[in-house]
């Protein structure tokens, strides 16, 4: 990796550093093995009513991979979260402590249960702050939800301790973090239940899909009743169980995953370890180079933890020479051809979104809910305003492209350190 032959920023008319052909990143990896998996499933079945065939296979693989007793596939991460909240008996008036910095679907299904999402601030890694959780606990609190943002595990030890001390359910949103570990333990195995998106961008994907994970047989059975009516309820909810008489309708929703999506998840799982190894190698290299630039801090897992490397997050702070902010730096990087340098938009502090500011306009039960204000969450606001997000490439053949991206950062910093402005 070299710095650019021309020191003039592309933003100021110089030549861009990144010259690799587009697209620079595409995900998921769809190859001949994916095509074969789909073709096999097409011949076998495209609608499965019960836990059989590809559905049973993927659920068994997922529960073994995470180390929990039960996995229930759903048609999205949002429906897995919805199933989890209903299955955990959350209802009107129950307070559920949620991260303010997460994708909105971590919390939105709560609006269909009557439970109240209580938003709390994050720490410097963007993950829910255990101190903020503790401060938000009231006699009405029933659960804490932790999203492992961008693949970096939350600080689980204090969250587990808080949940135990106050008799609360700990729930996880592992959508970004399949394969990540905290203190040697898989994320998704810490609390009463976890929900995970299997949508197209996610580290483990079926294009669309989700999964509910739990060690609790009652949560699993209620999860089936939420969105898997009739055959699956009849087969998996025992005859004497109080939910059995509702088997024909369940709770009336339909959250079944498409078997073709399950077949893609199955095929992606075959390659997952190798992909994660590749991503970890790239992330280590990116951290080594970018971590040396003043004012730029890579968000990394703690020493006993590992990330899924869903993304590589860099925080821009006041120490950047000349005081350039994340927006200007991204603009300079984009001009250098680093087209994947992103400033996340839809994932933002939830208190900024109309649905959370004024849920009563859409859900009458929430008419009296006190709106959270963005100013209440200074860390999340700062995190959101200061980050640049990069993809984490996994293949050795992407190394020259990674080098070009790193060179783009070095060029921008060289310019700033020599007193230039953006």
Q: How far apart (Å, rounded) are the C-alpha atoms in residues 352 and 358?
A: 10
Q: How near is the Cβ of 12 to ligand PLP at its closest, in Å?
A: 36
Q: For ligand PLP, which residue of 41, 102, 113, 282 counts as binding (CB under 6 A)?
A: 102
Binding residues for ligand PLP restricted to 193-212, rule: CB under 6 A: 197, 199, 210
Q: Does 105 bind ligand PLP (CB under 6 A)?
A: yes
Q: For ligand PLP, which residue of 28, 77, 109, 188 counts as binding (CB under 6 A)?
A: 77
Nearest to 182 by CA among 151, 145, 213: 151
Q: How far apart (Å, rounded) are the C-alpha atoms in residues 179 and 256?
A: 24
Q: Which stretch binds ligand PLP (CB under 6 A): 103-111, 161-169, 240-248, 393-401?
A: 103-111
Q: How near is the Cβ of 78 to ligand PLP at its closest, in Å?
A: 3
Using the minimum distance from each CB to ligand PLP, give the nearer residue, 78 or 282: 78
Q: How near is the Cβ of 1 to ligand PLP at its closest, in Å?
A: 32
Q: How far apart (Å, rounded) are the C-alpha atoms in residues 292 and 289?
A: 6
Binding residues for ligand PLP restricted to 113-172, rule: CB under 6 A: 147
Using the minimum distance from each CB to ligand PLP, give the nearer residue, 308 or 404: 308
Q: How far apart (Å, rounded) are the C-alpha atoms in residues 151 and 308?
A: 5
Beta strands 185-186 and 193-197, pairing class: unpaired
Q: How far apart (Å, rounded) are the C-alpha atoms in residues 214 and 222?
A: 11
Measured CA to CA in angstroms, residue 229 lies from 235, 238, 359 at distances of 10, 14, 29
Q: How near is the Cβ of 2 to ligand PLP at its closest, in Å?
A: 36
Size of the site for ligand PLP (CB under 6 A): 14
Q: Which stretch binds ligand PLP (CB under 6 A): 76-84, 137-145, 155-163, 224-232?
A: 76-84
Q: How far apart (Å, rounded) are the C-alpha atoms in residues 152 and 182?
A: 9
- Residue 243, judged by CB atoms within 10 A of its CB (0-12, 13-18, 19+), counts as middle
Peptide bond preceding 23 in cis form (omega within 30 of 0): yes
Binding residues for ligand PLP restricted to 281-340, rule: CB under 6 A: none
Q: How near is the Cβ of 147 to ligand PLP at its closest, in Å?
A: 5
Using the minimum distance from each CB to ligand PLP, give the nearer residue, 78 or 404: 78
Q: For ligand PLP, which residue of 101, 103, 111, 309 counts as binding (CB under 6 A)?
A: 103
CB 155 within 8 A of CB 127: yes
Q: Fill in the per-residue mask, 361 to 400: x = in contact with ligand PLP (CB under 6 A), - = not in contact.
A: ----------------------------------------
Binding residues for ligand PLP restricted to 163-182, rule: CB under 6 A: 173, 175-176
Q: How near is the Cβ of 184 to ligand PLP at its closest, in Å?
A: 23
**Residue 104, token pair as written in the block:** 């909105």
193 contacts: CB under 8 Å, gap ≥ 6: 84, 87, 88, 169, 171, 172, 212, 213, 214, 216, 219, 223
Interface with ligand PLP (CB under 6 A): 76-78, 102-103, 105-106, 147, 173, 175-176, 197, 199, 210
């Amino acid at each position: 990796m070299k710095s650019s032959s021309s020191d003039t920023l592309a933003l100021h008319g110089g030549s861009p550093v990144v010259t690799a052909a587009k697209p620079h990143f595409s995900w998921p990896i769809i190859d001949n093995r994916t095509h074969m998996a789909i073709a096999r499933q097409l011949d076998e079945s495209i609608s499965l009513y019960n836990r059989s065939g590809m559905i049973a296979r993927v659920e068994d693989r997922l529960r073994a991979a995470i180390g929990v007793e039960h996995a229930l596939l759903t048609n999205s991460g949002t429906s897995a979260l919805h199933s989890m909240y209903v299955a955990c008996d959350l209802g009107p008036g129950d307070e559920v402590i949620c991260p303010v910095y997460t994708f909105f679907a971590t919390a939105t299904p709560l609006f269909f249960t009557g439970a109240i999402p209580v938003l709390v601030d994050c720490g410097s890694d963007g993950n829910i702050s255990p101190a903020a959780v503790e401060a938000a606990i009231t006699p009405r609190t029933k659960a804490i939800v932790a999203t492992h943002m961008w693949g970096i595990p939350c600080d689980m030890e204090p969250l587990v301790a808080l949940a135990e001390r106050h008799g609360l359910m700990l729930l996880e949103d592992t959508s970004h973090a399949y394969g990540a570990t905290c203190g040697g333990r898989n994320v998704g195995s810490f609390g009463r239940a976890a929900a995970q998106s299997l949508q197209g961008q996610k580290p483990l994907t079926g294009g669309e899909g989700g999964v509910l994970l739990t060690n609790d047989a009652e949560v699993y059975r209620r999860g089936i009743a939420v969105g898997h009516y009739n055959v699956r309820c009849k087969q998996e909810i025992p005859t004497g169980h109080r939910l059995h008489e509702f088997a024909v309708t369940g709770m009336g929703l339909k959250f079944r995953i498409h078997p073709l999506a399950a077949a893609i998840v199955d095929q992606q799982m075959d390659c997952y370890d190798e992909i994660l190894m590749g991503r970890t190698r790239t992330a280590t290299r990116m951290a080594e180079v970018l971590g040396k630039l003043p004012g730029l801090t890579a968000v990394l897992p703690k020493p006993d933890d590992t990330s899924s490397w869903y993304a590589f997050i860099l925080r821009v702070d006041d120490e950047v020479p000349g005081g350039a902010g994340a927006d200007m730096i991204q603009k300079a990087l984009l001009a250098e051809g680093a087209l994947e340098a992103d400033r996340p938009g839809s994932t933002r502090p939830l208190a900024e979104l109309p649905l959370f500011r004024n849920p009563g306009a859409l859900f009458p039960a929430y008419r009296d809910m006190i709106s959270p204000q963005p100013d209440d969450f200074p860390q999340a606001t700062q995190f959101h305003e200061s980050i640049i997000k990069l993809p984490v490439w996994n293949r050795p053949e992407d190394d020259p492209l990674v080098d070009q991206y790193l060179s783009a950062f070095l060029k921008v910093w060289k310019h700033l350190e020599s007193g230039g402005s953006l």
